[in-house]
Amino acid sequence: MAHYFENDESVISEPATITYDFQGKHLIYTTDHGVFSRQRLDFGSRVLMDSIDIGNAKSMLDVGCGYGTMGIALKSVHEDLQVLMTDVNKRAISLAKENIKCNNLEGIDVIESDVYENVHDTYDLVISNPPIRAGKKVVSAIISGSYDHLNKGGRLVIVIQKKQGAPSAKKLMEDIFGNATVINREKGYYILQSYK
């Protein structure tokens, strides 16, 4: 069975369209088989987007972006924010590129990268809805690798369910950053934040 965090070109393709209204913006996303949460915007992603305060961040990295839900939504309401999205799944990357165009956005790009492998810059903000089913090692790599990809004063913000490891993720963030807070909690989903 194929997983959304893998590349399996044998997965059938049946593109579908979903819409989402975010802070006054009507967004259109094309999704497909073989990507995370293809039938609707993931609840955890929605909680993160509703909880995050972009503040005066000028740049954002979305790690494990899927078809681009969070990066596109946040960019749509923060036009000056420069956004890079990454994913390991080629179909997700293709869909994210299509969704950027469909929503008429500039200053946002998506690249193929296994966690931070092809990321060479630093950002004011790193966000992620980590691929829990990829395993704790990948989730830990997203958290620990973010430190070197954040500007001084930058933040990591992730969403993770309590039952899928929020307490251990918070502990890892505290160990790496020296701080971690729960900025929101909703239906078992924790939004965790650390400052560099």
pLDDT recorded at residue 37: 65
pLDDT recorded at residue 2: 44
pLDDT above 70 as % of the chain: 89
Q: Report how far residue 172's alpha carbon sits from residue 50's, in angstroms, rounded to the nearest whole number.
A: 24
pLDDT for residue 171 is more than 60? yes
Q: Report how far residue 160's alpha carbon sits from residue 156's, in angstroms, rounded to the nearest whole number.
A: 13
pLDDT recorded at residue 45: 92
| CATH of region 16-195 | 3.40.50.150
Please list, residue by residue across 166-179, b when 16 or more beta carbons sit within 10 angstroms of its beta carbon and e when fewer do.
Answer: beebbebbeebbee
- Residue-range domain boundaries for the chain: 16-195
pLDDT recorded at residue 36: 62
β-strand pairing of 16-22 with 181-186 = unpaired
Inter-residue contact 158 to 130 (CB < 8 Å) = yes
- Beta bridge partners, 180, equal none
Tens-digit pLDDT profile for residues 39-57: 667 899 999 999 999 999 9
Average the pLDDT over 15-37 and give the result.
88
Q: Report how far residue 133's alpha carbon sits from residue 174's, in angstroms, rounded to the nearest whole number.
A: 23
pLDDT above 90 as % of the chain: 77
In whole angstroms, how far apart are CA 74 and each of 10, 27, 162? Answer: 32, 11, 24
pLDDT range class, residue 1, cuts 50, 70, 90 = very low
In whole angstroms, how far apart are CA 19 and each of 28, 37, 106, 175? Answer: 5, 13, 20, 39
Largest CA distance in the chain: 45
SS3 84: strand
pLDDT recorded at residue 163: 86
